[in-house]
Amino acid sequence: METTSCLRAGRDIPIILSFSVLFLSLVCSASAQCAKKSSCSCTFSNGSWIDLQALGYKDGTARFPDTPASGETFLYSYNPCYPFSIVGADNCKDVAMCQTGQAGQTAYYDLGDQNSAKFIENAGKLAIQYAGVTGGITRTSTVNLVCGQGETTFIAFGEDQEQPTFYNFELKSPECCAKAGSSGLSAGTILCIIFLCLVSVYLIGGVLYLKFVKHEEGVNLIPNGEFWMELPALIKDGFLFAISPCRKNSAYSEI
C-alpha cells in the first residue's frame, strides 16, 4: 500500500508542477502591467511609475480643448486627472473626454469620466481607457501614452472605422515616461523569482538524479519525460472533452 501511494505521488508531481507553471506564468504576466493608483497614475511591478497630474487643469477646463480629427466634423476635448465641464452641454459635465460638433453644431457626447479610467496595453503601448454614456450608448476612448521629450502634444484620431463608438487618441509628453522607483521587489516579482527557482531545481535536480542514480542517457534525462511528451495530447483530449456535449447512453443491456 505504501509503495502504491509513493508511485501515485510520483505521477502527481509533474501534474502539480504543470498547474504551478500555469499559475505563476499568469502572475508574472500580470506583474508586468501598470497597476492603477489614480485616474492618471500607475505603478509597474519594478517600482517605476507614471503620473500625469502635472498635465491636467484643476479649474474645470480642458487642457486640450477642441482638437480636430482628420476627416471628421467633430472636435475633441481632453483633460488628464481632473474633471472638466463644457458650459451649456449637459452631456459633458465632469468628464475626462468630450466630443463636440464644430461651429454651428450642438452635438455633445460624453466619451468618459475620470472614475472610469483604467490602464491597459494597446498595440504594445501603455494607454488610459475611459468610458462614457450618452443617449444610452456607451462610448470608449483610448489614449495611448507616448514617452517623448519637448513639448506635450495631444492628437485626436477620432472614431475607429472598424469599431464604432470607440475613439483613439495619443498623448505624447515627458510626463508619459516612466519614472524610476524604489529598488524594492513587488509581490509579483518575488513570485516570479520563486517560480524560476523551483523550475531550475526541478530540471537540474531531476537531470542529476537520472544521470548519476538511474544512469539514464539522452532524452531519458528529462525529468518525467514521458509525462511532458504526453502533455500536448492530454491537453487536446481535455479541451475536446470540455467543448463536446455530454451524451447519455440510452441503450440498456437486455436481461
Q: pLDDT for 142-183, tens place per residue?
A: 999 999 999 999 999 999 999 999 999 999 999 999 998 654
Q: How far is 29 from 68, CA to CA, in rounded Å? A: 37
% of the chain residues with pLDDT over 90: 49
Buried b (16+ CB within 10 A) or exposed e, 222-238: bbbbebeeeeeeeeeee
Do 140 and 61 have their domain in common? Answer: yes
β pairing state of 166-173 and 137-147: parallel
Calculate mean pLDDT across residues 11-36. Answer: 54
Of 137, 152, 176, which residue sits at a domain end?
Answer: 176
Do 129 and 49 have their domain in common? Answer: yes
- Percentages of the chain per state (helix, strand, coil), in multiples of 5: 35, 30, 35
Q: How far is 31 from 21, CA to CA, in rounded Å? A: 15
Domain span including residue 232: 2-28+183-243
Residue 64, domain member (yes or no): yes
pLDDT value of residue 29 = 46
β pairing state of 125-134 and 153-159: unpaired
Do 151 and 199 have their domain in common? Answer: no
Number of structural domains found in the chain: 2
Calculate mean pLDDT across residues 202-206. Answer: 84
Do 64 and 84 have their domain in common? Answer: yes
Residue 172 sits at φ, ψ, to 5 deg, of -115, 125
Q: Tell the burial category of 76 from Cβ atoms under 10 Å away from its Cβ (0-12, 13-18, 19+).
A: buried
Q: Which residue has the higher pLDDT, 225 or 26?
A: 225
Do 87 and 145 have their domain in common? Answer: yes
Residue 87 sits at φ, ψ, to 5 deg, of -60, 130
Residue 147, domain member (yes or no): yes
pLDDT value of residue 185 = 52
What pTM does this model have?
Answer: 0.62
Output the nine-digit C-alpha cell for 232.
500536448
Residue 252, domain member (yes or no): no
Q: Tell the burial category of 78 from Cβ atoms under 10 Å away from its Cβ (0-12, 13-18, 19+).
A: buried
β pairing state of 118-122 and 108-110: unpaired
Q: How far is 223 from 202, CA to CA, in rounded Å? A: 8
CATH number for the domain that contains residue 150: 2.70.130.10
Residue 57, domain member (yes or no): yes
